[in-house]
Structure 1
Amino acid sequence: MSLELVTIPCRTDNYAYLVHDAASGQTAVIDVPDAAPILAALKSRGWQLSDILITHHHDDHISGVETLRAATGAMVLGAVADAHRLPPLDYALTEAASFAIGTEKVRVIDVPGHTIGHIAFHFPDSGYAFTADSLMSGGCGRLFEGTPAQMYASLQKLAALPPETLICSGHEYTASNLRFAATLEPGNAQLMSRVEAVAAQRAKGLPTVPVRLQTELDTNPFLRAHLPAVQASVGLPDADPAIVFAEIRARKDRF
């Protein structure tokens, strides 16, 4: 059975996620923008936190880690490459690392671009991928440290996951991301339908994440740089997709 997934709004537009294995009682959180909403979610469900998984070092993803660790005694896991700028790690992870939540083995994926040490967590049996600020709903993270080539390669890794995978990203940026996407593919019917659906979700105060990878493949321009229509829309017909990606990212930065 899949691990239970809970999406937790934090701060203004951040998300944290809980995954829970009913058989063992093991519960992990992915990123900790704030401790309070996570502690409240745990208490309301009667769950005990066992693991804190960190995707990258930015404050809006780690600021509540020490408070949460002190309150729960949970182990903290993060990238070895970022250990010098993360809260103290109980387990420092590489892409070759493997660990389990309950009986489910978790895959670590290096996804540099937004930051150099950014990692994602793939739960293949449950079909979850926690991508934080690498692949985002309708977009991708800004390149604060990495290069366009690094981010493009990272997104290609994530795009290769099974299409039914639920992409659990770190922010509520979907509406603005899709407004930009629509400037590139105004004739993409699936994109236009998604724009309308997201507007309806936000009008009700509902999160727009997680979202199926197939939806991203159909509508997210950062996963579509290889397509002739997208290449033509940025004036780069038949160009290397990595170059097209870089142009799309530059346009989004100015949007």
Structure 2
Amino acid sequence: MPLELVTLRCLSDNYAYLLHGDAGTVLVDAPEALPILTELEARGWSLDAILLTHHHDDHIQAVPEIVAATGARVIGASADAHRLPDLDLRVAPGEPLELLGEPVAVIEVSGHTVGHVAFHFPQSRMAFTADSLMAMGCGRLFEGDAPMMWDSLQRLAALPDDTLICSGHDYCAGNGAFALSVDPENDALKDRLRRIAEAESPCAPATLAEERATNPFLRAAALAAGLDMADAPPAEVFARLRAMKDAF
């Protein structure tokens, strides 16, 4: 049976996620303690572990308070350990990991930062991508470069279409506006933006199939001609799109 997923808004535009099953509860990223601890108490759940995707403060700053309140162990990437809170378990892409009775794949998604990882729960069909693949967008390239991020996105794009992409922020207004500016005839994108405008629920997660259909950073090949880059490799089109988004 798939794990139960709870999406929590934190700070001004962050998402944190609780995963719950018979074997316990796991938190993905820790932007703000109060909404997370409040939700745990309301549901009567104890917290077993915190998964950290990358070292930026708005994803890790609540770890000490949450650990103090719950005793949860902290899990993060070996490559990023020197910039993360104290880790109880260091993991690396390709190494075996099991949580809540499921295997978990650790995926290298550097680009936004170097050492950023995503966590894929294949049995429950969920991937926690934080600031790599985002709803209708991708993270800014603060530490990595465009080829690095392109490779990361291709690893995520290889997951099954029904995978829920659980990203780290609600940047949907800006991401959606940019997507529409470079892909104005995309009916799937227009429909997604309409549904987001009408909904009170978070704009993430969304299926990978929906991201494929509406996210310009996964549609580099389809958008190349409109950018006068019909003969360019998709990675170069992606780099152009990322630069355009930075200036948007």
Q: Distance in 1 between matches of 2:242 and 2:109?
A: 16
Pair 1:246-2:244 in alignment? no
After TM superposition, list the pairs within 5 Å mapping 1:207-222 onto structure 2.
Answer: 207-222=202-217
- 2:227 corresponds to which residue? 234
Provide the TM-score with structure 2 as the length reference.
Answer: 0.98
Q: Where has structure 1 moved over 3 Å in runs of 4 or more?
A: none
Give the unaligned 5+ runs of structure 2: none
Q: Any residues of structure 2 matched to 1:42-191 within 5 Å, and which?
A: 42-191=40-189
**1:165 Cα deviation from its structure 2 partner:** 0.5
- Letter in structure 1 aligned against 2:51: L
Q: Show structure 1 runs of 5+ residues with no match.
A: none
CA distance in 2, matches of 1:12, 1:73: 26
| Percent identity (aligned) | 55
- Note the alpha carbon deviations across 1:54-76, whole angstroms, 9 max, x for none: 00000000000011111111110
Following superposition, the deviation at residue 196 of structure 1 comes to 1.2
CA distance in 1 between partners of 2:196 and 2:3 (Å): 26
Which shifted more, 138-147 or 170-179?
A: 170-179
Two-structure CA RMSD over aligned residues (Å) = 0.8
Distance 2:227 2:140 in 1: 19
Instruction: Tell me which amino acid in the other structure corresponds to 1:9.
Output: R
Q: Kindly state the Cα deviation for residue 98 of structure 1 after the two structures are TM-superposed.
A: 2.0
Number of residue pairs the alignment of both structures matches: 248
- Give the deviation of 1:193 after TM superposition: 1.2
Q: Can you list the C-alpha shifts for 1:60-100, whole angstroms capped at 9, x where unaligned?
A: 00000011111111110001111111001011110022222
What SS is found at the alignment partner of 1:157?
Answer: helix
After TM superposition, the structure 1 stretch with the greater mean CA deviation from structure 2, 235-244 or 128-137, is 235-244
1:16 to partner: Cα distance = 0.3
Rounded to whole Å, the distance in 2 between the matches of 1:45 and 1:242 is: 44
Which letter does structure 1 place at the counterpart of 2:208? L
d(CA) in 2 for partners of 1:108 and 1:56? 12
Q: How far apart, CA to CA, are the structure 1 residues paired with 2:96 and 2:2?
A: 18
Partner of 1:223: 218
Q: Deviations over 1:183-233 (max 9, x none)?
A: 1111111111111111112xx3x2111101100000101001122xx0012
- Cα shift at 1:238: 1.9
1:4 is matched with which residue? 4
Give deviations 1:85-125, integer Å, cap 9, x for gaps.
Answer: 10010111100222222211111001000000100000000
What is the letter of the counterpart of residue 145 of structure 1? E
Could you give the per-residue CA deviations for residues 111-165 of structure 1, whole angstroms, max 9, x where no partner exists? 0000001000000000000000000000000000001000000000001100000
The answer on whether the counterparts of 1:34 and 1:64 sit within 8 Å (CA) in structure 2 is: yes
User: TM-score, normalization: structure 1?
Assistant: 0.96
